[in-house]
């Protein structure tokens, strides 16, 4: 959530940033916020003055009665009653203004970093790095949705029977390679200094609000209405919320956590060839890295997180590219996002497998996540997260890129985890 003081003091900068994010009501919303904030401060000031005057008059009543000045004391009582009535009116009005202000404030997306390119859609994203050659397959090569049937490693029909579309059943070597990737990604994160967390996979509304999924993405989340709990779309939500309403000491920083969880996304309205097979699921597995950093260290940390994710793709021997997302293609909460895409040889297209983002103070302000500096003052922290990695499209690329007449070769780094070197 943006800070109101910053909006008030940097109106034009905020409007330009929101416009870069393609926020339609940028100027109108900022003007409304500033006006509401002016009314809030004026109302608060009048209420404070009214309460102070009422308290002073009330203190005088006893002294006036002792001095025999009953008429003056009664006059004070009458005025005190009027002031209390006015104070209640001001308090009610202040509460209404604050509710309106908060409701509008939470609709504003985070402001983009200065390096974010202009643009409306994914076509405007900037390629900042590309690694590895594009695999050349034979004419008989199959897309992964045919390969999984050929080798009987994932069953979509059985998933439909049990749950519905988008909930596949992994079987045999398919299940084992899933487990292998999870353990490989976790082990690599631990080597990089991350601390492992196994969080709950359902969260309450406060947690959804804290990381910015609510009220922005209710339609994409599964909701257990009887308990008021949401199935998590990513481990970022429960892991980051560990630090909600927390004041860290400077010596506690940086915080580096990693966690594996299943993830759940309704993906309402998604259909077509681009979501076939493993390309888009309602339930999938993901290893997530999360950092909490001091503001002056967060962009260095973002680059380090990007390099860590790239190292995983290199060890899996997958061709990939890194994109810096344009303003119009960025997430609601992000200030700067890098997407990592792997090349799917049979589909002949790039598949997003990771996003790594710096949220600056946007989540921390919602979470009330701060640290106490050397002067004992509290300041908001920066939060970051990244997929390291999401499994479905990684598996799709491994299956497609490594196929041959002899079967599908398992990347060497996964073989100690799988116990086999080929799916056949």
- 418 known member of a binding site: no
What are the φ/ψ torsions at residue 374 (nearest 5 degrees)?
A: -65, -20
For residue 356, give Cα distances in angstroms to 94, 303, 304: 40, 9, 10
Q: Do residues 200 and 238 make contact, with C-beta atoms less than 8 angstroms apart? A: yes
257 is in an annotated binding site: no
Residues 6+ apart with CB under 8 A from 236: 211, 288, 290, 385
Please check if 353 is assigned to a binding site: yes
State yes or no: 266 annotated in a binding site: yes
Question: Residue 385 annotated as binding?
Answer: yes
288 is in an annotated binding site: yes
The answer to whether 107 is annotated as binding is no
Is 361 annotated as a binding-site member?
Answer: no
Mark the binding-site residues for ATP, compressed into ranges: 265-267, 352-355
Show binding-site residues.
234, 265-267, 288, 352-355, 385
Q: Binding site membership for L-serine: which residues?
A: 234, 265, 288, 385
């Amino acid at each position: 959530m943006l800070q109101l003081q910053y909006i008030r003091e940097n109106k034009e900068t905020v409007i330009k940033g929101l416009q870069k994010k393609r926020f339609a009501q940028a100027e109108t919303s900022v003007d409304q916020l500033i006006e509401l904030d002016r009314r809030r401060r004026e109302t608060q000031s009048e209420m404070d003055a009214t309460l102070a005057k009422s308290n002073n008059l009330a203190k005088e009543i006893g002294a006036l009665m002792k001095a025999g000045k009953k008429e003056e004391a009664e006059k004070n009582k009458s005025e005190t009653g009027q002031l209390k009535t006015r104070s209640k009116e001001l308090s009610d009005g202040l509460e209404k203004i604050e509710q309106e202000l908060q409701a509008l404030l939470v609709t504003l997306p985070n402001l983009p970093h200065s390096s974010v390119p202009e643009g409306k859609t994914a076509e405007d994203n900037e390629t900042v790095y590309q690694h590895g050659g594009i695999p050349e397959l034979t004419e008989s090569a199959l897309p992964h949705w045919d390969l999984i049937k050929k080798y009987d490693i994932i069953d979509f029909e059985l998933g439909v029977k049990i749950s519905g579309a988008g909930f596949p059943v992994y079987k045999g070597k398919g299940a084992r390679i899933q487990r292998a990737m999870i353990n490989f990604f976790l082990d690599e994160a631990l080597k990089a200094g991350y601390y492992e967390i196994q969080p709950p996979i359902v969260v309450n509304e406060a947690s959804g609000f804290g990381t910015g999924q609510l009220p922005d993405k209710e339609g994409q989340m599964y909701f257990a209405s009887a308990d008021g709990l949401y199935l998590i779309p990513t481990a970022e939500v429960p892991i980051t919320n560990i630090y909600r309403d927390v004041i860290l000491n400077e010596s506690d920083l940086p915080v580096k956590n990693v966690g594996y969880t299943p993830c759940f996304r309704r993906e309402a309205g998604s259909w077509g060839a681009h979501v076939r097979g493993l390309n888009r699921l309602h339930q999938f597995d993901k290893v997530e890295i999360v950092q909490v950093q001091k503001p002056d260290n967060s962009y260095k940390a973002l680059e380090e997180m990007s390099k860590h994710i790239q190292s995983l793709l290199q060890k899996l021997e997958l061709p990939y590219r890194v994109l810096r997302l344009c303003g119009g293609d960025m997430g609601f909460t992000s200030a700067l996002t890098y997407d990592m895409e792997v090349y799917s040889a049979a589909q002949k297209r790039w598949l997003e497998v990771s996003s790594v983002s710096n949220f600056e103070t946007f989540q921390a302000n919602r979470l009330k996540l701060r640290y106490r500096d050397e002067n004992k003052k509290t300041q908001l922290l920066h939060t970051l997260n990244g997929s390291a990695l999401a499994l479905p499209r990684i598996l799709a690329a491994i299956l497609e890129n490594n196929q041959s007449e002899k079967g599908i070769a398992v990347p060497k780094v996964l073989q100690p985890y799988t116990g086999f070197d080929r799916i056949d």
